[in-house]
A and B are shown apart, each in its own frame.
Chain A
Amino acid sequence: MNLVKYPFLTNDTFLDFEFESAGPNGRIKKVVRYSPQNANRITYFNLAFGDWNEDAKKIDDSAISNNKDRKRVLATVAATVLEFTAHFPDVLVYAKGSTLARTRLYQIGISTNWQEIEPLLSVYGFTNGEWVPFRKNINYEAFLATRK
């Protein structure tokens, strides 16, 4: 990826990724998870990410870290998609935010990193009741991607 991103770790399954956001609110552990799932007899992986809450020992889905590094965080999440699909080139990856604002974040992440994503991935967005090839400046409800 051309945009600056954080170094990230994974484990032997390549389903879990960790990195640390660094900014005015300190160092915040981010976790990206690709959960295997089936729908309509098709296997896909659900991409989700959030902040790790060390006290609660779980992902805090309501956390708003506001660490002034949104572009870098999104570039890092996009890099994990490329890493994950490099390891599993035949899979489908699905992503949808918990809220419209968070889904919009995914859209910004895809658009901002499109130069690196487009040559490698076929990306679709769900809008107006149908899946269509991803285009910038259109609001989508959800996303699906696979390696070309």
Chain B
Amino acid sequence: MATGTKRKAKANAIVSDKVKDYGNDPYFVKKAKESKAFLEKHGFPKQLALGAKRKANV
């Protein structure tokens, strides 16, 4: 487990510079693409979509 420089986050997490960026991991890339396909096909809950657009316009 990574244990580099640490500080307490807002709630429970410990912030550590040893936690790498997993954004390019093939599994996470694949899952993100699958999620996009699902949501473009099925859309969002109306309540959440409206809220997201409203927040985006703030």
Contacts and interface: CB of A to CB of B under 8 A. Distances in A.
Contacts, number: 153
B10 A11 contact: no
Interface of A: 1, 5, 7-20, 27, 29, 31, 33, 35, 37-40, 42-44, 46, 48, 50, 58-61, 79-80, 82-83, 86-87, 90, 92, 94, 96, 98, 122, 124, 126, 129, 131-132, 142, 144, 146
18 contacts: A10-B15, A10-B19, A11-B19, A11-B20, A12-B17, A16-B22, A29-B1, A31-B22, A33-B25, A35-B35, A40-B44, A44-B44, A48-B28, A48-B32, A60-B27, A83-B9, A96-B31, A132-B45
B27 A87 contact: no
Given A9-B14, A43-B56, A142 B38 contact: yes
